Amino acid sequence: MTSSPIAILRETFGYEQFRGPQQAIVEHVVAGGDALVLMPTGGGK
């Protein structure tokens, strides 16, 4: 059974949505892409 990233975020961490570019990054990596992400303090790392 595969859950969507947003479902895992809600069920595991209790957040309703990703911050800033988090969702795009997670979807890119889940789709098999590579990522090097630099985010500022408070960016939701």
**Cβ(44)–Cβ(20) under 8 Å?**
yes
Backbone angles phi, psi at 38, to 5 degrees: -110, 120
pLDDT at 44 over 70: no
Does any domain span residue 28? yes
Does any domain span residue 45? no
Does any domain span residue 7? yes
Does any domain span residue 32? yes
pLDDT at 37 over 80: yes
Task: Give 15's contacts (C-beta < 8 A, 6+ positions apart).
Answer: 9
pLDDT digit string, tens, across residues 7-31: 999 999 999 999 888 999 999 999 9
Q: Domain range for residue 35?
A: 1-40
Does any domain span residue 26? yes
Domain count, the chain: 1
> What's the pLDDT at 25?
93
Residue 3 to residues 6, 13, 30, Cα–Cα distance (Å): 8, 14, 11
Residue 6 to residues 2, 3, 12, 16, 37, Cα–Cα distance (Å): 12, 8, 10, 8, 19
> What's the pLDDT at 1?
58
pLDDT at 42 over 80: no
